[in-house]
Amino acid sequence: MNYWPEFLTIVIAHALAVASPGPDFALVLRQSLAHGRRAAIWSSIGIGCGLSFHIAYCILGLGFFLKNSPAALAAVQYLGAAYLAWVGVQALRTRTRTGDVDLSAAAAPDDRAAWTTGFVVNLLNPKVALFFISLFALAVSATTPKLVQVGYGLWMTAATMAWFSFVSVVFTREEVRRRFLQHGHWIDRALGLVFIAFAVSLVLAKLGS
């Protein structure tokens, strides 16, 4: 059987989703500007690992359970909203930077902390869960072998890591970071509002459903 049409559908749908602004992009942007390239790339890897978890339960059939279990889906949505709100509050607490600009990112989180932040932000984003549940339900045939589906998942995981690593490189250029570190507490706080807005939108969407 020819799986290329199915694969191309997944590639296009995933590319549009991963490139659209959302909590993952906001996190990588903040990590890049505030903490430097290493922290941003580790967060990008964490995002990819979180995404692979969503893909795994869709392949195993648990996505069907989540889709048909309002209580389980609601728990994911509220946990995700709470975590995004917490990330937003931390960003809002960013202090005004004074004195000489230091590009060394000495205060950056360690690799594990940066990875964990990316992983949890993606894992607890219910929009990601709903996207992959819908994608596998609509675009992947029930007769597609699990091994082929794993191949789809590996592609999407690798593409996600590559995209956000590229974003990390772009926004950690020396001049970009220097300007941010001089005046960037306002950008950091603005990103904090973005995270809180995502959290509020998730809760309102749930309450309105």
The torsion angles phi and psi of 8, rounded to 5 degrees, stand at -65, -35
The pLDDT score that the predictor gives to residue 101 is 47
Is the full-model pTM beyond 0.85?
no
Tokens linked to 162:
């590559």
pLDDT for the residue 92? 79
**pLDDT at residue 200, as a whole number:** 84
**Which amino acid does the sequence have at 127?**
K
Q: How far is CA 183 from the centre of its chain?
A: 26
Q: pLDDT tens digits for the chain (209 residues)? A: 789 999 999 999 999 888 877 889 989 988 998 888 999 999 999 999 999 999 999 999 877 777 777 787 777 778 767 877 887 887 777 666 554 445 554 467 899 999 999 999 999 888 888 888 888 887 888 889 999 999 999 999 999 999 999 999 998 887 777 766 666 566 667 777 877 887 787 678 767 76
Question: Contact 60/133 with Cβ under 8 angstroms?
Answer: no
**Phi and psi, residue 184, nearest 5°:** -80, -5
**61-83 burial code (b ≥16 CB/10 A, e <16):** eebeebbeeeeebeebbbebbeb
Question: Percentage helix, strand, coil, to 5, in the chain?
Answer: 80, 0, 20
